[in-house]
Amino acid sequence: MLDKRDFDAVVVGSGPNGLAAAITLQQAGLSVLILEAKDVIGGGLRSAELTLPGFVHDIGSAIHPLAAESPFFKTLPLAEHGLQFITPPVAAAHPFDTGRAATLDNSLEETARRLGADEKAYRSLIQPIVRDWPVLAPAILGPLRIPKHPLAMARFGLDAVTSATWLAKRFQTLEARGLWAGMAAHAIQPLTNVTTSAIGLVLLAMGHVRGWPLPQGGSQAIARALASYFKSLGGKIETGFPVSSLDQLPSSHAVLFDVTPRQLLRIAGHRFSSLYRWQLERYRYGMGVFKIDWALDGPIPFTAPECREAGTVHLGNSLEEITASEQQTSEGRHPERPFVLLAQQSLFDPTRAPTGQHTAWAYCHVPNGSRVDMTTAIEGQVERFAPGFRDRILARHTFNTSQLEGFNSNLVGGDINGGLLNVTQLFTRPALRASPYRTSAQGLYICSSSTPPGGGVHGMCGHHAARQALHDVFKCEPAPLFTP
């Protein structure tokens, strides 16, 4: 039963951003209530036995370079609350039809060396980002503002604003160009779009700054640790409480919504100005995903041995093939050979499957709202680079875009980024305002991935929104995460 006592603040939604917002507010000495629609907290940070007993699958996100390197999460004693990260020896691998594979190793030197003729080009592109990451993080993982270190940001920005296909011209080998395309395709939009280089650069750099770790026991462990820490501060969580109206909420001075613009309009649209409501109604969602989880009787038999050491494997062969696949999807089509993102957590975390058996997790991009079954296409891509894969499948579980949205209403049309991350919505999401976290209604804030810096498990959207509420409503200025 909902606790009807007064709270200083209420947070609607318990995804990583809702949890981060609630923790930030509770740390400031406020009384905070989280309301979660589902019976289990976490949003996209959920794990469950989707296929067979004993096989633990990540329902949403799986690999977490930004969670491990999040400036906010790093300030929290999450290890004391049960969170342990496991870092595979190879962050990501990218196999080719030649039987070879390019790799994102935890060592920048090793990654560059393996790229042969592109060793120098890779070093010159990525080494400055790795070196400057401590000063780049405040600008990259926050709202648009004047950077404190403009030269470092300018060096990054000149490459980040380009299209992935344009930046790919720096590389000449199949391996370097393919590895780059797989990284940039995380932007979930055509690789010819400007700014698609930004996510690729950050992901490559994160491989060398921290690796691409996975949480022991499943992604749910991140949510459990955040919630445990929040409750240790005195915070309160109510699950099984979907919010469809402001009238359902207990009295408070501020409400922060870990939802996307579509849900926010349904809950509180009547309180907004006509201009703000107009902007939210025109907010754009991006491509969706079709996802598969497998229970396997052994590891995936990749031809390239490097793939058997990687937590993440990108399946798409060449730059040209991945570019064509993403372009077709953005145009509403379903490629026969889609770009596939695959994770094999059980290779490194034995808690995920019974002894000698394994799990695997994969998705491809599809048009927003698509209900086309991409099982055959995805499994064909895995089989292409791992002959005999199909023979190892014990069971499978699939999610189309509608089913994903049913699992988590923030995944509108299967969009896992909280909205299209193109140039017009990169820093103005969800609306063009002095602060992207403020709505036009006093005391109401949005703290989801539909605000800067966007998708990914890092909690920075929630942390920044909470700081804005502390400043506006509670006249409180918490210590900054970043030092000049």
Average pLDDT over residues 135-164: 87
**What is the pTM for the complete model shown?**
0.96
Q: Which pLDDT score, from 0 to 100, does residue 142 have?
A: 84
Separation between Cα atoms, residue 77 and residue 92, nearest integer Å: 28
Separation between Cα atoms, residue 92 and residue 62, nearest integer Å: 13
Q: Which pLDDT score, from 0 to 100, does residue 338 have?
A: 98
Residue pLDDT, tens place only, 88-138:
999 999 999 999 999 999 999 999 999 999 999 999 999 999 999 999 988
Domains, the chain: 9-45+71-81+217-283+414-472 (3.50.50.60)
Q: Which pLDDT score, from 0 to 100, does residue 148 have?
A: 76
pLDDT higher than threshold 70 for residue 25: yes
Look-up of token digits 């996100």: 61
Residue pLDDT, tens place only, 260-272:
999 999 999 999 9
Separation between Cα atoms, residue 410 and residue 97, nearest integer Å: 37
Average pLDDT over residues 233-249: 97
Q: Which pLDDT score, from 0 to 100, does residue 214 have?
A: 98
Selection from 205, 119, 169, 99 nearest residue 323 by Cα: 169
Q: Which pLDDT score, from 0 to 100, does residue 482 have?
A: 59
Using an 8 Å Cβ cutoff, are 38 and 409 in contact? no
Residue pLDDT, tens place only, 47-76:
999 999 999 999 999 999 999 999 999 999
Average pLDDT over residues 210-214: 97
Selection from 483, 468, 459, 472 nearest residue 72 by Cα: 459
- Residue 4's pLDDT band, with cuts at 50, 70 and 90, is low
pLDDT higher than threshold 70 for residue 348: yes
Look-up of token digits 């060396």: 113
**Amino acid in the structure at residue 336:** E
Separation between Cα atoms, residue 16 and residue 32, nearest integer Å: 16
**Angle between helical axes of 150-160 and 196-209 (0-180°, round to 10):** 120
Q: How many C-beta neighbours within 10 Å does residue 232 have?
A: 12
- Residue 243's pLDDT band, with cuts at 50, 70 and 90, is very high
- Residue 3's pLDDT band, with cuts at 50, 70 and 90, is low
Work out the mean pLDDT of the chain and round it to a whole number: 96
**Amino acid in the structure at residue 362:** A
Helical spans, DSSP H, in 309-441: 319-330, 375-385, 401-407
pLDDT higher than threshold 80 for residue 405: yes
Q: Which pLDDT score, from 0 to 100, does residue 1 have?
A: 52
